[in-house]
Structure 1
Amino acid sequence: MSAWLSRKVSAFTIHDVDGSEAQKEAVNYIAKEFEVSTENLRTIVKQFNEDIDKGLQRHGATVAMIPSFVQGRPTGQEKGKYLALDLGGTNLRVCEVNLLGDSKVTIHQQKFVVSNELKTGEMRHLCDYIADCVDSFLTENGSDKLDSDLQLGFTFSFPVNQTAINRGTLMQWTKGFDCHGAIGKDVVIMLQDSFRRKNLNVNIAAIVNDTVGTLMANGYRDPKSHMGVILGTGTNAAYYEKMEKILKWDHGEINVPEMAVNMEWGAFDNERRVIHLTPYDNKLDRESINPRFQIYEKLISGMYLGEIARNVLLHLIDRTLLFNGLSSIDLNKQWSFETAYMSTIEADATQDLSDTQHVLESILAIPTTTLIDRQIVKKVCEFVGVRAARLSAAGLGAVLSHCNKVEEGCTIAIDGSVFEFYPNFADNMMAGLKELFGDQIENKVKFSLARDGSGLGAAVIAMMAHNAPKI
């Protein structure tokens, strides 16, 4: 096994892999395939920084670097009652956020299910449904009798060409949504029209990307927050950029020193220049709904990690090096090996790896597994998970170096199931940063879990947008 992987992986591995020479050789080969050396990390950071600069200079760059139109930072002293709306998956979340000052806040929220019919029907019907949900929420909370408009921040987690703090045209649908009559249209105007038809005293003050929301939410509690990162089903990041560096800004002069920028970093290295893609990654990419796009996201986020591991396991099965060459109907299905299973397997500290056995035999219906089989599966999960954390560290390192935050330090607000639940993910990210910048970085940079930060963040941005001079 390579020196890097023996150093990085064995630190949190309970069992070494025994087995035949062929099995050991295969595991060593896979370890090498997923290795990201310190030299690789530095190369990736260098390319990331070049792509950041390109995205700030011109429209249409691979790493898009989209200005958020959010001016200034929250101080934590803001007060007031604001609404937040979060749409981006199966659930619609409506929040009433009461900012109390002194970085204190109370949040009341309610979730509503978005049916498949609404996801693929007319956009007007989806907007009317959202308005009905907001109406129901306000009525239940007694906020429907207010004379003045409630200001709302709308977290809309789809690609949007934003032209103002409260204006943005939908570029394309993702995540299973495909509503008719929406692409190329201003989603704020469409939803505001539905609010008016329902006679709701609600004004959409801002449309918000979830990374920017995460940054602002954490900023209300911690003024040292400089980045907002999503490491969950998908991945993205936002950070504060100096206006003088946003060379492509073409919306007139503004008198603010900085603005939050939505990086859309999941597209990094679509050109395949610096990240080594394994055959297992290439198979996943070919079979995805967007081949050759979102390459970085496909290597580090929860939607994809389990599928990469599944591809490795099937390769070993085909070589009769795992499960005696026997698979199952369940394991043969695309996406069947969930990233949550990887978390369970990586965390399995039982002597006989019984938790791993449960996943393989009871859930995935593998006929039978040996201890050696389970040890190999655990190693495969570790290789995929460690690589994801180290590649994530490269993205963080690029922003830290770009913003000269290595010496000064900052807080990085992170939301998402991979960061929160995947074993050792945060530790392995920090290990990557130490290799890049030295051990002192651990005392300079802090990771802060910002669970469901987009709700609070959207409300904070609605407050800031309502009170700020218009761009």
Structure 2
Amino acid sequence: MPPLLHIPTSVIELWQALMSLLDSYIIMPTLSEVLSPTRLRLRKRARDVVPHSQRNMHDFLFDVKSTFEAPLSLDSLLAMSTQLQDEFRQKLQSSTECMLPSFSHTLPTGDERGTFLALDVGGTNFRVALVELNGKDSTTSGMWMSKMRSFRIDNAVRSLPGAAFFDWMAEKIQEVLSQSDIQNTAVLSMGLSWSFPIAQTSQKTGTILPMGKGFRASDGLIGKDLSLQLMEACRSKDLNVRVEAIINDSSATLLTRAFADNATRIALILGTGFNASAHLPVNLFSQEKFGSRPETWHEKAENVLVNTELSMFGKTVFPLTKWDEQIKKNHPKPDYQPFEHLIAGRYLGEITRLILLDAIKTAGLFGGEIPGNFSEEHSFDTAIMAAFESDETKHLSTASAAFLAAHPLKWTPSHSELHMIRQICSLVTHRAAAFLATGTHALWYLRTTAEGLNPAKSGRISIGCNGSVIERYPSFKTVCQTYLDDLTTMSGAQPNSVMLEPAVESAIFGAAVAASCED
């Protein structure tokens, strides 16, 4: 028998060293980059450069990857869902801040028809639209806007005190109606999507609370009826309109999707902020959660549309990284919306900025130089993250241009540095999508069991989705759907039976649908 081939130890060590080098390539600069004039000049420049340790970017990225992926096993996510359900049940009994039952207990059938005036009052724009509902089974589109105008809410408008703000709204409504074919003879039903706190007293009424965000419309009107204030302003303009519904953005999303698909029971809003609504059995709630309501309401209502304020949950559920802890430390209300801090557009960029800042200071990213404006809180926009994750150019040139436009450097980042940023963006958003799926699974399972349904036989459920992150961030909805499929299947549901579906222009369409639904 011939002797076994002997490979010198030195050859094995050389091969292992070569493999290690190749493994590090994607996040280490090439030799030409290291020896470039720009890099050589960098070594001589001390100002604006942060000293860093010997840990390289490969090690740093490995640590970030491990930290962000560790909690994302399906077993871990299911355990988090169970904890969230426990929190839900507690808040369904006593909280005045979340799991808030509205006065809307019916969902649209999809057969609603008519012309409705829809109003959407947000932080930066006031939109007025004439919406046509023609039934989801009509030969034409079931809902469309025959007229829509958007009016900028600038600082001057935000500063309008009390009734003056509602007079401004009525003026804009008059402007839209005067440019339409609507006759002023019949009363036009109006739905209002109101993105500010109110204490709702019926489907169409609610008392005004402090608005915040620089708005003075609540000055002198705290505790007054929102519907009455708007109607008084409209009457002063001889507008033949009537408020039929006041809703928030998450409820509007659910109603919009429910008009098109009667299997809709949950809705998600994920953009700059985060919220969810759900259609839940009334027997989940304590009597005190409903406050003072007519007995006729309780006789009719078997289910109720709920503003969950889901952003407020999860304080002790979701594991935090050191960068999450930094956001919490710097936040004026660190425990107010813990779920939102992990997944909403306002915070995804900030989490990523803190990680990259750490990489600059400890692992030599950008040679230790902090880019312009990068030390400022919330300076790294989530839109730049999207540019990195959607960039299909060979050298990530589109993403590089977007980054440098917002955060100038004295030289162009290397491909390995750009690739590292892209990977970190992906880790942050992937975790966010997984956590959103977990919260959605918790709501789905809560509702399913409360209805006395077996998950395997509960049928298809549609979840309406709206907001810049879940609608437009590259692959976010797809990743979230994948996790949701896995979690619901593990809980006994049929594959692909709980689906995330778009609810486009839901603030407008939802207001119109709400106005069309009977009490």
Q: How has the CA–CA distance of structure 1 residues 175 and 409 changed in structure 2, closer, same or farther, with 3 Å as cutoff?
A: farther
Instruction: State whether structure 2 residue 321 is matched by structure 1 residue 273.
Output: no
Q: 1:16 to 1:402 in 2, by over 3 A?
A: farther
Partner residue of 1:446? 499
Structure-2-length-normalised TM-score: 0.81
Aligned pairs, how many?
Answer: 447
- Residue 334 of structure 1 aligns to a residue whose secondary structure is coil
5+ long unaligned stretches in structure 1: 1-14
Q: Which residue of 2 aligns with 1:285?
A: 328
Distance 1:82 1:193 in 2: 19
Match of 1:121 in 2: 160
| 1:82 is aligned to 2:120 | no
1:422 paired with 2:473, answer: yes
Equivalent of 2:148 in 95, 100, 109: 109
Structure of larger gyration radius? 2
2:309 to 240, 243, 264: 264
Deviations 1:13-67 (A, max 9, x none): xx95456962122112212332332233122211211122122222335xx1111
What are the Cα deviations for residues 153-184 of structure 1, in whole angstroms up to 9, with x where unaligned? 11001222212111222444344535433444
Q: Does 1:409 align with 2:467?
A: no
CA distance 1:431–1:190, shift in 2 (3 Å): same
User: Cα gap change, 1:183/1:367 in structure 2, threshold over 3 Å: closer, same or farther?
Assistant: farther
Query: What's the CA shift for 1:125?
Result: 1.8
Change (3 A) 1:128 1:264: same
Which runs of structure 2 are paired with 1:109-258 in the superposition (5 Å)?
A: 109-143=148-182, 145-179=183-217, 180-247=219-286, 248-250=289-291, 251=293, 252=295, 253-258=298-303
User: What is the CA RMSD across the aligned residues, in angstroms?
Assistant: 2.1
Aligned-partner Cα distance in 1 for 2:274–2:236: 36
Stretch of structure 1 that moved more, 91-100 or 274-283? 274-283
- SS of residue matched to 1:447: strand
Taking the aligned partners of 2:496 and 2:363, their CA distance within structure 1 comes to 47
Q: Residue 331 and residue 176 in structure 1: after superposition, are their counterparts in 2 closer, same or farther (change >3 A)?
A: farther
1:361–1:367: 8 Å Cα contact kept in structure 2?
Answer: no
Instruction: Using the aligned pairs only, state the percent identity.
Output: 30
SS of equivalent residue, structure 1 residue 34: helix
Structure 1 consecutive aligned stretches of length 4 or more whose deviation exceeds 4 Å: 18-21, 439-442
Does the alignment pair 1:45 with 2:81? yes
Mapped to 2, the partners of 1:115 and 1:434 lie a distance apart of 43
Q: SS at the partner of 1:254?
A: helix
SS of residue matched to 1:309: helix
**CA deviations over 1:226-282 (Å, ceiling 9, x no partner):** 11211111111111111222323232323132111111111112xx31112222223
Please, which of 344, 350, 353 is the counterpart of residue 307 of structure 1?
A: 350
Secondary structure, aligned partner of 1:70? coil
Query: Matches of 1:441 and 1:365 in 2, distance apart?
Result: 50
Letter of the structure 1 residue corresponding to residue 203 of structure 2:
I
CA contact (8 A) 2:110 2:135 kept: yes
Q: Contact between 1:211 and 1:238, CA under 8 Å: does it hold in 2?
A: yes
2:427 is equivalent to residue 391 of structure 1: no
Q: Which runs of 5+ in 2 are unaligned?
A: 1-24, 30-53
Bigger shift: residues 101-110 or 41-50: 101-110
2:371 corresponds in structure 1 to 328
Q: Distance in 1 between matches of 2:107 and 2:352?
A: 41
1:44 and 1:172 mapped to 2: Cα distance? 34
The answer to whether the Cα contact below 8 Å between 1:397 and 1:433 also exists between their aligned partners in 2 is yes
Q: Distance in 1 between matches of 2:384 and 2:361?
A: 21
